[in-house]
Amino acid sequence: MITTSPGDTSRLRATADFVREQDTATLLPLLFPGLDGPELRSLVERCRFSHAALLVFPPARAALDAMLTECGLVADAPPRPSVVVRRRLAARHARRARELDVGILRPTVQCQDGARRTVEVFALTVPPGSDLGAVAAHERERQHEAHVAFEVPAPDPLVLRGLCAVFEQYGATPDGGGHNPHEDGTVFYFTAPADAKSPYTRVELYAPGDHRDVLAAHLDGHRARQPAETLLRLLTGAWTTQALTAFARLEVADAMDGERGADPAELARATGVRAPNLAVLLRYLTMLGVVREDRDGFRLTDVGGLLRTDAEGSMRPLALMYGGPFYESFAGLGHTVRTGEVAFERRFGENHFDHFARDPELAELFDRSMAAGARMFDPLPDHPVLASAADGATVVDVAGGNGELLGRILSAHPRLNGVLLERPRTVETARRLLDAAGHTARCTFRAGDFADVPAGGDVYILSRVLHDWDDDRCREILRHCARAMHDTADLLVVERVLPTDGSASLATAWDLHMMCNVGGRERRADHYARLFADAGLVLTGRTPLPLDGDVLHVRKAGPAHAGAGL
């Protein structure tokens, strides 16, 4: 005999009736009293009421089907796992997510205005006699997952910011959100104002696509109302670094199969660690979005996949570097701020270049960690200076590391030649990499320092070099380049440039890192322009790159460039 909860059935029927009876123009004023006139019409034009949601607690799948039938609802597909709701339930009730069988259904209903909308049904299976009864009772009383949702059919950043601003203007408060990579959609949650006339106090704004730039400001508003929690999360940032580093160092990602889930015990056997402890680490990484947990176990997300050794664009070397030597030296940040001394040098007794050079394994890790940020370089070969260079032109990569960037340029432009200038040991590493890519016939390798910048090049590159040094050393490096450049040569400087408006940027974070660990700094564009001018050069253009990078186009100063710059 199939039994259902009368309470759940009546709640589901009430939700379905609500969806049938409401439309966008009638629901918005219920949620936001005082909203009318032009602003109401503007919202109705830009978002539409899409569904109402609730959480029910059937003892089994058959009971859920019976409940839907009794309410006149038909699901067009079996329940899918609801990872987000399961994760929230696990956090609220201190449960393991794997213990919670949460599915999601979206039966459609015909509405009074002729539209077809959905009832979003989350179902937590609570078998008879289960200790999940207390969870069900709490959730029925608090209705944490009940909400109404509006979809933005044609989202763009301006529209999304405007919608969020109007919601807040009429009393809604930001209440979290996130980007779902599986559906490629971004969700903004709000708590309705206290005087709302709707039975639902939680409002969802759904925008197809990835809008995490707008979401970041929304989440800032949410966190601003929870300062203690925000500070606690910030204070545990060191745990995040070490969790990622441990995951990378133990090669757990390498042991995970992207096609199927893995149990902690299975992964523990493959990596030689303790299964209970690994389970704790994996749960933490699930919260970070590095892995995800489903009924089959743990799987890598796209983020976690970058910690595999064999992943294209693997960032595992960065995890080992930031969680290794640089992590140790960051403990001396206060000393650097107080005295101006570089914390890395205080911790290890020498600057990081010399320290890594003494240890072949560390030196190799440093070179690989620099190459791991190569995603910044993706658009660089298409830069107009390189794309328009004459056949047979020579590109000189000054302090070019292991040749990652120069190799990309030579691959994109078979008509160009290259010169790589680096320290002797690193030159040999670059020679092997570029030889494997088939570029050595078009590439010359020079072992030396900045004073050895070769003359005769047509395009010179300084990629992530100047931020290693103080202004005086930067001027010296730039003067060496200027002396080597002929009058029509170009210089491309790749750096993270500090914003002028205080906006969030990786450059601001790297400025702290460079100060503490390297003794260098990030700079604003006008600061770089002054350094170029001191070396007889002029900044003529700036192009954005991924990972908050920029390429600064520089030429020799002269009458043709008078008044140029930014």
pLDDT digits (tens, 9 = 90+) for 478-498: 999 999 999 999 999 999 999
User: What pLDDT score does 2 carry?
Assistant: 43
Instruction: Kindly tell me if the per-residue pLDDT of 294 is higher than 80.
Output: no
| CA separation for the pair 266, 255 (Å, rounded) | 9
| CA separation for the pair 255, 5 (Å, rounded) | 44
User: What pLDDT score does 562 carry?
Assistant: 43
List, for residues 106-117, the tens digit of each pLDDT value. 999 999 989 999
User: What pLDDT score does 564 carry?
Assistant: 42
| CA separation for the pair 129, 480 (Å, rounded) | 79
For residues 148 and 31, the answer to whether their CB atoms sit within 8 Å is: yes
Does domain 374-561 fall under CATH 3.40.50.970? My reply is no
**Which amino acid type is present at position 48?**
R
467 catalytic per annotation = yes
User: What pLDDT score does 181 carry?
Assistant: 67
Confidence of residue 98 (pLDDT cuts 50, 70, 90): confident
User: What pLDDT score does 498 carry?
Assistant: 94
49 token code pair: 């009421």
Task: Return the percentage of the chain with pLDDT > 90, whole number.
Answer: 64
| CA separation for the pair 388, 492 (Å, rounded) | 14
Which of 147, 211, 352, 467 is the catalytic position?
A: 467
| CA separation for the pair 99, 90 (Å, rounded) | 9
For residues 502 and 481, the answer to whether their CB atoms sit within 8 Å is: no
Cα distances from 87 to residues 15, 98, 304, 367, in angstroms, run: 23, 9, 18, 38
110: Cβ contacts below 8 Å, ≥ 6 apart? 20, 116
Confidence of residue 368 (pLDDT cuts 50, 70, 90): confident
Confidence of residue 563 (pLDDT cuts 50, 70, 90): very low
Instruction: Kindly tell me if the per-residue pLDDT of 527 is higher than 70.
Output: yes
Q: What is the DSSP code string of 295-307?
A: TTEEEE-HHHHTT
For residues 211 and 155, the answer to whether their CB atoms sit within 8 Å is: yes
Q: What is the DSSP code string of 47-75?
A: -EEEEEEEEE--SSHHHHHHHHHHTT---
Least confident among 104-118, 359-373, 374-388, 536-550: 359-373
**Which amino acid type is present at position 405?**
L
Determine what percent of the chain falls in helix, strand and coil, rounding each to the nearest 5: 50, 20, 30
Q: Determine the CATH number of domain 6-229.
A: 3.10.180.10
Q: Which residues pair with 417 in a beta bridge?
A: 394
Of 3.90.850.10, 1.10.10.10, 1.10.357.10, 3.40.960.10, which CATH number belongs to 236-323? 1.10.10.10
Instruction: Kindly tell me if the per-residue pLDDT of 349 is higher than 80.
Output: yes
Q: Provide the CA 449 distance to its chain's centre, in angstroms.
A: 36
| CA separation for the pair 565, 475 (Å, rounded) | 18
Taking CA 225 as the corner, what is the angle to CA 222 and CA 226, rounded to the nearest 5 degrees? 95
Segment 348-361 shows an average pLDDT of 89
| CA separation for the pair 163, 169 (Å, rounded) | 10
Least confident among 207-216, 243-252, 379-388: 207-216
Burial 488-508 (b: 16+ CB within 10 A, else e): ebbbbbbbbbbeeeeeebebe
Segment 375-402 shows an average pLDDT of 93
Least confident among 60-74, 168-182, 321-335: 168-182
User: What pLDDT score does 28 carry?
Assistant: 95
Does pTM surpass 0.75? Answer: no
Confidence of residue 528 (pLDDT cuts 50, 70, 90): very high
Nearest to 64 by CA among 51, 78, 53: 78
Query: Where do the domains of the chain lie?
Result: 6-229, 236-323, 374-561
* SS3 label, residue 244: helix
**Which amino acid type is present at position 400?**
G
* SS3 label, residue 398: strand
Confidence of residue 373 (pLDDT cuts 50, 70, 90): confident
Least confident among 257-261, 263-267, 437-441, 496-500: 257-261
The more confident residue out of 221 and 277 is 277
Edge-first strand listing for the sheet containing 490-495: 443-447, 417-422, 394-398, 459-463, 490-495, 549-556, 537-545
pLDDT, the chain, mean: 90
